[in-house]
């Protein structure tokens, strides 16, 4: 699974977008990035972040809440979702940031969010009441602290990717369980069918004393081999018993030999 480094910036102020572009250009401050990566992901020795290849973020920009929802929907449909959204609170005249997050999470519940605000539009309690208690939401005060922005981008994109890997693993397990369950159900059906056929054979079968045909449940008379073929999983292989060979086959072979001798 490739590392998802797509970030969406949502703010009605274009200058804020420029600030994010400058801050998240990690090539400008490699030492800071290395220190953050080592501190945040020291437990992941095989992590992409610590492998020597610093992730570069793909930044997209929306200027209203409704626009951001449309962009996230398009990204999901293209199987290229955003792992993180930096969301402004005040974006007149449209939806504010809290309403936008609510609408997005109803359709795309795995997106990580950072709320960016310089105002006290909502208290912490009011926000939790609206969006619920979640670990997918963090707060960032304006004016931005550069290190905080870098830290959040690094930590939350990695968090999204780890969660996506876990979901993929669980889905794989569920598919395997469903496949095994289907196979087991088929085996059980075959076993129950075999038991039913055995019970049928254990009952009393009406058989003609002259031709030895068997009467089935629909009052049709069938040859024994046809009946067994239709009511069991057994396959019939025809042969000749010793008694019939002596009484029938030997006489037929004798007639054939006599006929051949008469023709010579």
* 65/68 Cα distance (integer angstroms): 5
DSSP 3-state of 61: strand
Residue 249 lies in a domain: yes
Residue 191 lies in a domain: no
Would you state the pLDDT for residue 226? 81
* 57/135 Cα distance (integer angstroms): 22
Residue 196 lies in a domain: no
* 58/127 Cα distance (integer angstroms): 28
Residue 183 lies in a domain: no
17 and 122 in one domain?
yes
Residue 64 lies in a domain: yes
Would you state the pLDDT for residue 37? 55
The whole domain housing 158 covers: 6-172
224 and 139 in one domain?
no
Would you state the pLDDT for residue 144? 85
Cβ contacts of 151-155, under 8 Å, gap ≥ 24: 151/36, 151/40, 152/84, 152/114, 153/7, 153/24, 153/57, 153/84, 154/33, 154/36, 154/37, 154/40, 154/49, 155/40
For residues 231 and 218, is the Cβ–Cβ distance under 8 A? no
Tell me the CATH number at 49: 3.40.50.2300
Would you state the pLDDT for residue 247? 77
Would you state the pLDDT for residue 1? 61
Residue 67 lies in a domain: yes
Would you state the pLDDT for residue 130? 83
Would you state the pLDDT for residue 221? 85
Residues of the chain with pLDDT under 50: 28, 44-52
254 and 152 in one domain?
no
Would you state the pLDDT for residue 201? 61
């Amino acid at each position: 699974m490739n590392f998802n480094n797509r970030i969406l910036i949502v703010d009605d102020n274009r200058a804020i977008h420029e600030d994010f572009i400058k801050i998240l250009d990690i090539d400008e401050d490699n030492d800071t990035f290395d220190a953050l990566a080592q501190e945040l992901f020291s437990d992941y020795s095989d992590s992409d972040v610590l492998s020597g290849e610093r992730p570069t973020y793909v930044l997209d920009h929306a200027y209203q809440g409704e626009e951001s929802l449309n962009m996230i929907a398009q990204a999901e449909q293209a199987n290229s979702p955003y792992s993180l959204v930096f969301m402004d609170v005040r974006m007149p005249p449209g939806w504010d940031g809290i309403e936008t997050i609510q609408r997005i999470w109803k359709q795309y519940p795995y997106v990580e969010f950072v709320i960016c605000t310089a105002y006290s539009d909502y208290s912490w309690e009011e926000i939790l009441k609206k969006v619920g208690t979640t670990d997918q939401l963090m707060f960032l005060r304006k004016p931005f602290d550069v290190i905080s922005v870098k830290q959040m981008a690094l930590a939350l994109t990695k968090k999204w990717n780890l969660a996506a890997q876990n979901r993929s693993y669980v889905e794989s397990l569920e598919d395997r369980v469903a496949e095994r369950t289907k196979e087991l159900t088929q085996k059980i059906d075959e076993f129950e069918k075999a038991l039913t056929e055995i019970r049928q054979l254990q009952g009393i079968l009406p058989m003609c004393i002259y031709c030895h045909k068997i009467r089935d449940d629909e009052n049709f008379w069938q040859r024994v081999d046809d009946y067994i073929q239709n009511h069991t999983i057994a396959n019939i292989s025809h042969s000749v018993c010793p008694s019939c060979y002596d009484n029938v086959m030997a006489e037929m072979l004798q007639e054939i030999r006599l006929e051949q001798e008469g023709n010579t």
